[in-house]
Amino acid sequence: MRVYNFSAGPSMLPLEVLEEAQKEFLDFAGTGMSVTEISHRDKAFSAIVEEAEANLRELMNIPDNYCVLFVQGGASQQFAAVPLNLMHNGKADYIVTGNFAKKAWQEGKIYGDARMVASSEDKTYTYIPDVDKIAFNDDSDYVHITSNNTIFGTRYIKFPKTKAPLVCDMSSEILSREVDVNQFGVIYAGAQKNLAPAGVTIVIARKDLIENPLPICPTMLKWKTQADNGSLYNTPPCFSIYMANLVLRHLKKIGGVKEINKINEYKAGLLYDFIDNSSYYTNNVVKEFRSIMNVPFVTPSKETDEKFVKEAKAEGLVTLKGHRLVGGMRASIYNAMPVEGVKKLIEFMKKFEKENA
């Protein structure tokens, strides 16, 4: 029986995509081989990478002066790749709005003067600092942000305007809402939340920024190396790229990013409205900055939180336990989570409140 998986990642994928992968798993495109067996040098696989890039460019309206890369190592590896490719003057600004933003900043400090210019840690990352009031440094090589905070459930409503290239970890919200790629020097995202199984990471980088990585940058972390080789410098995460392409096809079929954003806003609205009108459940995020991808909430006690997670699982609502840094519950309602899943969660929440309040 299929359940509703509210995991923060790896997360659920569209059922249609899983069925398509199942159908052609043993024989991909008439090759007589599974896509997991095809050489990354085979024309059949090159066609997958090329189509995936074309689909991503179309869905995100990525200009020609940006490269699109499919790499390994997760977004966490890009915490190092960013300074190793961009920190020419040895200085960068970081806005720290959550756990992963903090990790990116800490990694940046290994390679130069990574300066935390703003943080929301003072209020347990429940808000986004006012980007119009941040004093960015004139000598920074880049400014780094994390657009959606998976653990704490916040997101940027607007992005800072910076002289230095804006670098954004968009892992937990890529393709969930429309963004102007031209605002950014680099966007990177682990794919295991909105796009594919774990294994592939997307890097979208302005071409003029990738030409001169630092001399100490390892070959595998040089964006230029990956760009010059069409993401095929070495064996890439083949199956994850294949699955990403199926998801991108699916997203195009249902109307693209604009349409999925409407659905995402509707799903999140249903859940937040219920929480706000309940005297039993609480979401502590400042309303203006609430994520539409990750919704943390708590009951009045840790004991009832634990009971909630256990009983929800029995109802086919799984992976709702909150991150250890926050506790409580967290409903990750990424692109693939259907409206019906959110509605079923709300019905269970009503029932649980009635029985335990």
CA–CA distances in Å: residue 325 to residues 61, 146, 272, 298, 331: 36, 18, 21, 13, 15
State the helix-helix crossing angle for 339-356 and 256-276, rounded to 10 degrees: 10
**Tokens 């490719």 identify what position?**
85
Residue 19 lies in a domain: no
Beta strand pairing call for 91-96 and 113-119: parallel
Nearest CA to 52 out of 233, 249, 229 is that of 249
- Residues 237 and 323 both lie in one domain: no
The CATH number for 100's domain is: 3.40.640.10
The answer to the question of residue 17 being in a domain is: no
Domain assignment present for residue 143? The answer is: yes
| Helix (H/G/I), strand (E/B), else coil: 96 | strand
Pick from 253, 272, 296: which residue ends a domain?
A: 253
How far is 304 from 281, CA to CA, in rounded Å?
11
Same-domain check for residues 118 and 168? yes
Q: Which of 235, 253, 271 lies at the terminal end of a domain, its last residue?
A: 253
Average pLDDT score, the chain:
96
Q: Are residues 121 and 223 in the same domain?
A: yes
262 shares a domain with 158: no
| Domain shared by 117 and 136, yes or no | yes
The sheet carrying 166-169 orders its strands as 66-71, 201-206, 186-190, 166-169, 143-146, 91-96, 113-119
| Angle in degrees, CA 324, 326, 332, rounded to 5 | 90
User: What type of residue sits at position 295?
Assistant: V
Residue 1 has pLDDT above 90, yes or no: no
Q: Is the dihedral of CA 291, 292, 293, 297 positive or negative?
A: positive
Please tell me whether the peptide bond between 10 and the residue prior to it is cis, using omega within 30 degrees of 0. Answer: yes
Instruction: Return the pLDDT at 292.
Output: 98
Task: List pLDDT tens digits, range 276-297.
Answer: 999 999 999 999 999 999 999 9
* Residue 92 Cα distances to 74, 88, 162, angstroms: 22, 10, 12
Does position 3 have pLDDT exceeding 90, yes or no?
A: yes
Q: Are residues 68 and 154 in the same domain?
A: yes
Residues 125, 269, single domain; the answer is: no
Residue with tokens 């069409």: 230
Tell me the average pLDDT across 169-177: 97
Let me know if residue 14 belongs to a domain. Answer: no
Please check whether residues 76 and 58 belong to one and the same domain: yes
Q: 87 in helix, strand or coil?
A: coil
Q: Is residue 83 part of a domain?
A: yes
Give the Cα separation of 7 and 11 in Å (integer): 5
156 and 289 in one domain? Answer: no
Joined tokens for residue 198: 């774990």
Domain annotation covers residue 186: yes
Transcribe 1-55 into DSSP letters: ---EE--SSS----HHHHHHHHHTSSSSTTSSS-TTTS-TTSHHHHHHHHHHHHH
Q: Give pLDDT tens digits for 232-281.
A: 999 999 999 999 999 999 999 999 999 999 999 999 999 999 999 999 99
Domain that holds residue 157: 24-253
Number of domains in the chain: 2
Question: Is 13 part of a structural domain of the chain?
Answer: no
pLDDT in tens, 37-88: 999 998 889 999 999 999 999 999 999 999 999 999 999 999 999 999 999 9
Query: Cα–Cα distances in Å, from 167 out to 93, 183, 189, 203?
Result: 10, 9, 11, 11
pLDDT of res. 44 = 87
- What is the value of pTM for the model shown? 0.96
**Cα dihedral value 57, 61, 65, 69, nearest 10:** -30
Which of 253, 285, 307 lies at the terminal end of a domain, its last residue? 253
Both 243 and 268 in one domain: the answer is no
DSSP state string for 146-207: ESEETTTTEE-SSPPP-SSPEEEE-TTTTTTS---GGG-SEEEEESTTTTSSTT-EEEEEEG
Q: Are residues 271 and 174 in the same domain?
A: no
Residue 209 belongs to a domain: yes
Question: Mean pLDDT throughout 179-196?
Answer: 97
The per-residue pLDDT for range 104-143, each reduced to its tens digit, is: 999 999 999 999 999 999 999 999 999 999 999 999 999 9
Please tell me the predicted confidence (pLDDT) of residue 327. 87
249 in the same domain as 260:
no
Average pLDDT over residues 199-207: 97
Report whether 305 contacts 267 (CB < 8 A). Answer: no
pLDDT at residue 73, rounded to an integer: 94
pLDDT in tens, 296-334: 999 999 999 999 999 999 999 999 999 888 889 999 999
Other beta carbons within 10 angstroms of residue 130's beta carbon come to 9
* Domain CATH code at residue 332: 3.90.1150.10
Q: What is the pLDDT of residue 107?
A: 98
The pLDDT confidence band at residue 357, using thresholds 50, 70 and 90, is confident
